[in-house]
């Protein structure tokens, strides 16, 4: 067996993550402060903020399965929203009115249905 090549002290160590990773990025203090502010506003850490900003700048498609991000089924999300809205509505409302309000909040006003990107377009 051969020994692995020795790294110089100035050479950063790369983690094996299945994709090539950059271990260090040099930024000015003001740029670092801007990145940190963006990260805080988007509830993320600096490294993920840098990755997301680079993807935005390059016009890249974000990675769908980023570590630490939990993807939920849209139907599950809608069901949770319907349940929560039902809890917030006045129990004295007639059933028909409750259903109308829930439908309007989950589907949106009918005049904006054409603008929804998550709904299938009707065939013409």
Within 59-94, residue ranges assigned H as helices are 74-88
Residue 25, Ramachandran bin (φ over 0: left; ψ between -120 and 50: alpha; else beta): beta
Contact 101, 82 (CB under 8 A): no
Residue 116: which pLDDT band, with cuts at 50, 70 and 90? Answer: confident
Residue 95: which pLDDT band, with cuts at 50, 70 and 90? Answer: very high
What residue segments make up the domains of the chain, in order of their start? 26-70, 74-109
Show Cβ contacts of residue 89 under 8 Å, excluding neighbours closer than 6 positions.
98, 101, 102
Counting residues of the chain whose pLDDT is more than 70, the rounded percentage is 66
The pTM assigned to this predicted structure is 0.38
Output the average pLDDT for the chain. 77
Count of all residues that appear for the chain in the document: 124
Counting residues of the chain whose pLDDT is more than 90, the rounded percentage is 17
Q: What is the average pLDDT across 1-30? A: 62
């Amino acid at each position: 067996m051969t020994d692995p090549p020795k790294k110089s002290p100035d050479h950063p160590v790369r983690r094996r993550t299945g994709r090539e990773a950059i271990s260090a990025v040099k930024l000015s203090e003001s740029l670092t402060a801007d990145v940190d502010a963006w990260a805080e506003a988007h509830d993320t850490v600096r490294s993920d903020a840098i990755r997301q900003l680079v993807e935005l700048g390059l016009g890249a498609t974000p990675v769908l399965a980023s570590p630490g991000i939990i993807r939920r089924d849209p139907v599950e999300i809608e069901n949770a929203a319907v349940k929560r809205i039902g809890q917030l509505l006045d129990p004295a409302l007639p059933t028909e009115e409750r259903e109308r309000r829930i439908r309007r909040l989950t589907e949106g006003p009918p005049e904006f249905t054409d603008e929804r990107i998550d709904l299938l377009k009707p065939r013409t």
